[in-house]
Copies of this chain bind each other. A is one copy, B any other.
Amino acid sequence: MNAAESVVRTAEAAGVEVCFANPGTTEMPLVLALDRTTRIRTVLGLHEAICTGAADGYGRVKGTPALTLLHLGPGLANGLANLHNARRARTPCVNLIGEHATWHRDADAPLSMDIEALARTVARWTARAVHAREAARLTAQAIAQACAGRGGISTLVLPHDLLCEEVGDAIATVPPPEPPLPPDPGAVAAAAELLRGAAPSALFLGGPALWGEGLRLAGRIARATGATLICETGFARLATGAGRPPVHRLPYFPEQAQALLDRFGHIIGCGAKRPVSFFGWPGKPSRYLEDREGVVWLAGENEDAVGALRELADMLGAHEDHPGSDYDPPALPSGSLDGAKLAAVLVHHLPEQAIVVPTAVTNAFPFSAIAERARPHEQLALTGGAIGEGPALAIGAALAAPDRKVVNLEADGSGAYALQALWTQARERLDIVTIVCANRAYRILQLELERQGLSGGSATRALTSLEDPPIDWVTVARGLGVPGVRVEDAEGLGRALTRAFAEPGPFLIEARLP
């Protein structure tokens, strides 16, 4: 076997099941090696951002890394913004980059870039093979590093000549992950003490504290102590809806975020960084919890949040599950759509165990506010603020959970970043319903100006309006192989969702919003 096959066989032996790829000449040995396995599904993206965003979605839902296969520095550069989001989500992900042959590298051929410099801006672990025989071992290391702790990004640079070299039977084994460090007993005791106190308390949660066992434990603690659950604005994954403990999402705008946190005398953090504002808005704080008393951090974003919650629940004797929210869909609205009506219709129709990717920028807020009234489902949010990831995140989620419906609640501004994703959704026959909230503007920027009492002139209008020409989303989607409809009112949206959830495969709904 050549080194390329040793890389693929090592990944296969470690349980890797999917490779999101847009290869070039230097990656062809890896493509030919992928031909020889049926256990790794290869999924083509028409742009590397689709590959990396899909790997993020896959890793968040599956908990294990996907491979990406990217072409030299420019291919990695194209995928970098979504890798930034994946890094913020703590998603396990392994990038394989085919590099120029070792003997060709100093020729400074056209595609030569400083691949490692690019990789280090997002990667936990970056390496370059300098011998063919180490390719398998480095692949195993890349996977181990991607899986360590909560998860991270590994990038392995593989020169073309080394990939073609014979290496014998050189599959490497990925070592089992290190067990997490035990939680700090002092922090657990301090948190328990705060929760037993008189002041209103909140748990500020992120990472694995927001789904599965983590959320169940947090719910038990909330039930036992009356604490409120709050999550990061940009969470990686959140389980919500009927039967799940209600979780308040920290608002995006700083005055709203601060107001929510100020309602609580005690705040216990777990699985998240201490919350900071999204931008440095003039006159607003960077750090919402700075100079506050009554704050204890059980586990940071890289620590064992679930283990810490387990110990805290034990210490509090909190063993009864939270009954969770009732299934309480809002009344179906009628007439012309706005963000609130759209949210109500979606909550009403959302199938059980759906995965929602609410990456619409302004129009995801109303959905977040009432999502707990829907059937049980999960959400994947934009973690790193790099817009345009939603349609690709949805691809990864759909491949990780083929028996669940995926809904991408997308904006027209951010969705336009990732038109290419629709093609992959069609090619792979993925059960993804895209709802484009077509307000024909970068509304968030217009809102920011309104908050400052500014209106702006011709440049501002040119750079924040998407009116001219209006994007005809249904037509674009059809051209890329995805059927769809345009809806103008709540009734039409309801009909479109009914149809979309009944049929397999991707579907796009352009919802005209003011």
- A-side interface residues toward B, CB under 8 Å? 21-26, 28, 31-32, 34-36, 42-44, 46-47, 49, 72-75, 77-78, 80-81, 84, 88, 100-101, 103-105, 107-111, 113-114, 117-118, 120-122, 160-161, 164, 234, 273, 276-280, 282, 286-287, 383-386, 388, 413, 416-417, 419-420, 423, 426-427, 444-445, 448-449, 454, 456-460, 462-464, 468-481
Contacts and interface: CB of A to CB of B under 8 A. Distances in A.
Contact of A278 (B44, B74, B109, B464): B109
Contact of A286 (B107, B427, B475): B107
A35 B471 CA distance: 25
16 contacts: A25-B444, A25-B445, A28-B448, A28-B449, A42-B462, A77-B77, A77-B81, A78-B80, A78-B417, A105-B280, A109-B279, A110-B383, A111-B279, A111-B385, A118-B118, A469-B480
Given A35-B458, A46-B416, A471 B423 contact: yes
A49 B122 CA distance: 19
Contacts of A472: 478-480
Contacts of A105: 280
Nearest to A35: B457
Given A457-B36, A478-B472, A31 B113 contact: no
Nearest to A449: B28
A469 B426 contact: yes
Contacts of A423: 416, 469, 471
Nearest to A482: B469
Nearest to A21: B463
Contact of A469 (B24, B111, B481): B481
Nearest to A106: B286
Contacts of A42: 458-459, 462-463
Contact of A35 (B122, B160, B460, B478): B460
Contacts of A161: 280, 282
Contact of A277 (B104, B273, B471): B104
A279 B104 contact: yes
Contacts of A477: 479
Given A279-B160, A386-B111, A478 B475 contact: yes
Contact of A118 (B75, B121, B426, B480): B121
A282 B120 CA distance: 30
A75 B36 CA distance: 38
B458 A74 contact: no
Contacts of A287: 107
Nearest to A77: B80
A417 B273 CA distance: 35
A354 B477 CA distance: 32
A482 to B, nearest CB: 9
Contacts of A25: 279, 444-445, 448
Chain A to chain B: the 7 pairs with minimum beta-carbon distance, closest first: A104-B280, A101-B280, A469-B481, A35-B457, A475-B479, A476-B479, A74-B386
Given A74-B385, A107-B286, 5 more contacts: A31-B463, A47-B388, A77-B80, A113-B122, A478-B479
B28 A73 contact: no
B416 A417 contact: no
Nearest to A22: B463
A78 to B, nearest CB: 5
Nearest to A26: B279
Nearest to A36: B457
B282 A164 contact: yes
Contacts of A80: 74, 77-78, 80, 118
A113 B121 contact: yes
A276 B73 contact: no
Nearest to A118: B121
Given A23-B445, A282-B161, A462-B42, A121 B110 contact: no
A75 B481 CA distance: 28
A72 B80 CA distance: 13
Contacts of A34: 459-460, 463
A417 B47 contact: yes
A268 to B, nearest CB: 21
A385 B118 CA distance: 17
A106 to B, nearest CB: 8
B280 A468 contact: no
B103 A114 contact: no
